[in-house]
Amino acid sequence: MSVLRNDLQVALNDLHVALMESADHYRYAAEFVSDALTGELFETLAEARDLLADEAEEAIRDSGDLPSVPDVDRETGEQLLQRLEAVFSADEAADVMAQRLEGEAQFEELLNTPEIKAIDKDYPTLRRACLQSIEVAREKLNGSAPS
């Protein structure tokens, strides 16, 4: 393992961290939503992101690097803010859904940056699978949104 990462390793690590953060946010949201079905949906989406994170981790190791992990303090702060927003919302479930949809939009933005697109050359299916997971998540989140 080299001390310096190449562009591919940086992109894979950024993707891996984003996938892990996404899974963590879904799990956190599942813990405090009062609706059991919504909680199950969030757990299912978290598990799907975990599988993609495992793929990214394997690619990182194949590239000769070790995977990075999310910043726990930053994640805790983000989750606290999300929870406060939801608690003070008139409709907590709708607010949590909106937060997760916003998270999907941010994840999609990351996936479409030139830096992350660089993984397509060596791992052509990984980024595509992540983009597909966003579409699946959006469909499920919009399909279960409270009316």
Q: Would you state the pLDDT for residue 78?
A: 66
How does the average pLDDT of the chain come out, rounded? 86
- In CATH, the architecture of 7-143 is Up-down Bundle (1.20)
Domain coordinates of the chain in residue numbers? 7-143
Task: Encode the chain in three state secondary structure.
Answer: CCCCCCHHHHHHHHHHHHHHHHHHHHHHHHHHCCCHHHHHHHHHHHHHHHHHHHHHHHHHHHCCCCCCCCCHHHHHHHHHHHHHHHHCCCCHHHHHHHHHHHHHHHHHHHHCCHHHHHHHCCCHHHHHHHHHHHHHHHHHHHHCCCC
- What pTM, to 2 d.p., does this model score? 0.84
Which one has a higher pLDDT value, 83 or 119?
A: 119
Question: pLDDT for 46-70, tens place per residue?
Answer: 999 999 999 999 999 999 888 877 6
Highest mean pLDDT among 38-42, 46-50, 63-67, 79-83: 46-50
